[in-house]
Amino acid sequence: MKKIEAIIRPEKLTDTIKGLKQIGITGFTVSQVVGRGKQKDTQGVYRGKNYKVTLHPKVKLEIILSDYMVERTIRTIVDAAQTGEDGDGKIFVYPVLEAYNIRTGTLDFDIDELANRQEGRA
């Protein structure tokens, strides 16, 4: 299993979710975050005074999925979220060793359907 964290522009969230649903990814977590990368600072105005915006609003998607879905999921996120401008975001991929069901307190084998089929747990 893998965990994908994708930091994207907030205005690209709807398109990204549509793309994920089209490939069968329906479970994910979405968080509002702020961050700093190559995107340039911008100017804001509050009560008539200018200020510099150095942290930009972003959205973080977290998805746990089977290894065989990683490349397809990354391609889907890139296709949906890419504008070609600085600040489009990043995608990180991490290994997931175990997952637990909080309700039952047991290992959750349902997250990784491919592993279930390979190990005869389906």
pLDDT at 111: 67
CA dist 112 and 63 (Å) reads 12
**pTM of the entire predicted model:** 0.80
Number of neighbours of residue 17 by Cβ within 10 angstroms: 16
- Largest Cα separation within the chain, whole Å, is 65
Condensed to tens digits (0 to 9), the pLDDT of residues 12-38 reads: 999 999 999 999 999 999 999 998 877
